[in-house]
Amino acid sequence: MSIRVQTENAVTTIAFDRADKKNAITAAMYAALVDALAAAADDPAVRCVVVHGSDQVFTAGNDVQDFLMNPPHGEDSPVSRFLRGIATFGKPLLAAVNGPAVGVGTTMLLHCDLVYAGESARFSTPFAQLGLCPEAASSLLLPSVAGYQRAAQALLLGEPFGPQQAREMGFVNAVLPDGETIPHTLAQAGKLARLPASSLRVTKRLMKQGQQEAIARQMSAEGAEFGVMLRSPEAREAFAAFLGKRKPDFAQFS
Ligand code: COA
């Protein structure tokens, strides 16, 4: 299934576990993530959830091969259900990021409550470079968290940036040595797990409720554009270039 889920001391950890493909996320992995989040939401013994990769890589984002073979269809696709799941998750959601966090690897962090990054963390949102457009309501959330120009730099140019920049942009709480990222995040989750669960739930709901409808609307709008663009010749060229280990040639498209 390529994710590992375990619950200990009232904290559920969800770990990407596909090192040979840099933790790229397939439709089957999205479906497993949806199930893990739903189980954590429904279990009163679970107080919060931590998502992490390894000490070397968070995730390379959507699995390009899988995306080409099984392009997601509509709002019931595993990826859409996952994005709605993290956007509406009612308990604290934490992330520990080392190494590459590409595409959804970065945009999912905008829905987390606490994000800790290792010194090796490299964030990127290369949607335009792939002939696509932003997802996960990042076209709304990144400008609102980071400011328009910094969001435009990330979403239009799509170049990777480091953990200090992510912290300045406002979606990383602290930067740590790589070996400490996951343990520190688990320790923070442990602190949350000892606080009154109802207070955490209500506080989170109050902080998020003003934006919830706008996020849902933006996700739908992005999803509609993304679904069309995924089938475009530009995206096919970008994905074929990645799989062929060559540079894409967009000059052929008007
Ligand atoms: N989908 C499918 N396979 C992927 C992948 C992805 N998103 N990202 C990496 N892989 C695979 C590579 O094809 C390679 O497979 P191989 O060993 O069978 O050739 C393996 O994982 C290792 O990747 P590699 O590129 O050699 O590692 P790297 O350390 O040089 O670079 C990344 C790591 C994450 C920076 C780079 O792989 C990358 O940019 N990936 C593409 C990310 C992307 O575009 N994601 C958004 C999709 S919408």
- Please report the pLDDT score of residue 235 as a whole number: 93
- Please report the pLDDT score of residue 71 as a whole number: 86
Q: Tell which residue, 78, 105, 128, 79, has the closest CA to residue 24.
A: 105
213/236 Cα distance (integer angstroms): 32
User: pLDDT in tens for each of the 254 residues of the chain?
Assistant: 799 999 999 999 999 999 999 999 999 999 999 999 999 999 999 999 999 999 999 999 999 999 888 888 888 999 999 999 999 999 999 999 999 999 999 999 999 999 999 999 999 999 999 999 999 999 999 999 999 999 999 999 999 999 999 999 999 999 999 999 999 999 999 999 999 999 999 999 999 999 999 999 999 999 999 999 998 999 999 999 999 999 999 998 87
Q: Tell which residue, 2, 25, 26, 27, has the closest CA to residue 15.
A: 2
CA 195 to chain CA centroid, Å, is 26
CA nearest ligand 1 atom 29, residue: 22
Ligand 1 contact, 24 CB (< 6 A): yes
Compute, in angstroms, the gap from residue 21 CA to the centroid of ligand 1.
6
Compute, in angstroms, the gap from residue 184 CA to the centroid of ligand 1.
27
Q: Could you give the count of Cα atoms lying within 13 Å of 133 in the half-sphere of its Cβ?
A: 17
175/168 Cα distance (integer angstroms): 11
Q: Tell which residue, 171, 165, 166, 197, has the closest CA to residue 113.
A: 171
- Please report the pLDDT score of residue 242 as a whole number: 93
Ligand 1 contact, 29 CB (< 6 A): no
Compute, in angstroms, the gap from residue 60 CA to the centroid of ligand 1.
6
Q: What's the chain's length in residues?
A: 254
153/173 Cα distance (integer angstroms): 21
- Please report the pLDDT score of residue 70 as a whole number: 86
pTM here is: 0.97
- Please report the pLDDT score of residue 94 as a whole number: 98
Who contacts 173 (Cβ-Cβ below 8 Å, separation ≥6)?
114, 115, 116, 167
- Please report the pLDDT score of residue 74 as a whole number: 85
